[in-house]
A = this chain, B = another copy of it.
Amino acid sequence: MAYRETKKTRKHKEQVHKQILSVARAAVAEGGFAAVQMSSVAAAAGLATGTLYRHFPSKAELLAEVFRRVTKREVQVMTEIAGSDGAAPSRLGDAVEVFARRALQSPVLAYALIFEPVDTLVDDERLAFRRSYAVVLGRIIDDGIKSGTFPAQNTSVVANCIVGALAEALIGPLVDKTPTTCREREAEIRAIVTFCLNAVSGNQKGIA
C-alpha cells in the first residue's frame, strides 16, 4: 500500500544523521560546546531546526553523541600506544606525548573535551573519557611495576594525577592565548613528558 523503509531511505537517513554529527562536531571544534545552537547546526547542515529532532531526541543527546565519537577515537589512539611493545617508560612517554600533541593541534576541541562543562549527559561522558585515559595509563604503569621498571605505587591515583597534569599543562597556554611558537610548544611537551616519567619512576617514596 504505502511507504516502507527502503535501502534508499535508510541510506539517506544515515547520511543526514552523519551530516548533523559532522556539523555539530565542527561547531564544537570551532567554539566549544557552548557555541553550539540547534538552529545554527540545522542551518549549517541545510536542514530545518525541527529536523534535528527526528534524529536526536534533544540537544543534550546530540552533544553527548558528538563527545562520544571524538572521544572514542582519542582513546583508541592511546590504547594502541599502550598495547604496543616496548618498555613501559617508553610507552608511557609516547602516550603522554601523543596526548599532548593532539591536544595542542586542536586546542578548542581539547578544551571542550577536557574541561568545558555542558550538561549532565556530556559531563558523564567526560568522566568516562577521563577514566578511560586513566585506565590506559594505569595499564602501562602496572606493566612497568611488574617488570620492575617502576617502583610499586598506587596506580589509579597516579594515573589520575597524570591525566590532570596533562590537562592543566595543556589548557593553561590555551587560555593565555599567547601565540606560542612551535619551538616553545616542543619544549613544553618535553617538560610535561619528563614530569610524568619522573613522577612514575621516582624513588622518593619514603619522603611523604
**Chain A contacts to B: CB under 8 angstroms:** 89, 93, 97, 115-117, 127, 130, 134, 153-154, 157-158, 160-169, 172, 175, 187-188, 190-205, 207-208
* Cα–Cα distance between A160 and B169 once the two chains are bound (Å): 5
Chain B residue with the shortest CB-CB distance to A34: B117
Query: In whole Å, how far is A139's beta carbon from the nearest beta carbon of chain B?
Result: 17
Q: Which of A116, A158, A198, A201 has the most CB of B within 10 A?
A: A198
- Find out whether the CB atom of B160 lies under 8 angstroms from the CB atom of A168: yes
- Find out whether the CB atom of B192 lies under 8 angstroms from the CB atom of A161: yes
Query: In whole Å, how far is A15's beta carbon from the nearest beta carbon of chain B?
Result: 34
Query: In whole Å, how far is A60's beta carbon from the nearest beta carbon of chain B?
Result: 15
**Set of chain B residues within 8 Å of A172, measured between Cβ atoms:** 130, 134, 160
Q: Which of B97, B153, B165 contacts A161 (CB 8 A)?
A: B165
* Cα–Cα distance between A130 and B176 once the two chains are bound (Å): 12
Beyond the given A130-B172, A161-B168, A194-B205, please list 15 additional residue pairs across the A-B interface where CB-CB is below 8 A. Answer: A89-B207, A97-B208, A116-B117, A157-B192, A160-B168, A160-B169, A160-B172, A161-B165, A161-B166, A161-B192, A197-B208, A198-B204, A199-B199, A199-B202, A201-B202
- Find out whether the CB atom of B199 lies under 8 angstroms from the CB atom of A153: no
* Cα–Cα distance between A49 and B166 once the two chains are bound (Å): 43
- Find out whether the CB atom of A168 lies under 8 angstroms from the CB atom of B158: no
**Set of chain B residues within 8 Å of A203, measured between Cβ atoms:** 198
**Set of chain B residues within 8 Å of A167, measured between Cβ atoms:** 164, 168
**Set of chain B residues within 8 Å of A196, measured between Cβ atoms:** 161, 199
- Find out whether the CB atom of B208 lies under 8 angstroms from the CB atom of A204: no
* Cα–Cα distance between A89 and B116 once the two chains are bound (Å): 34
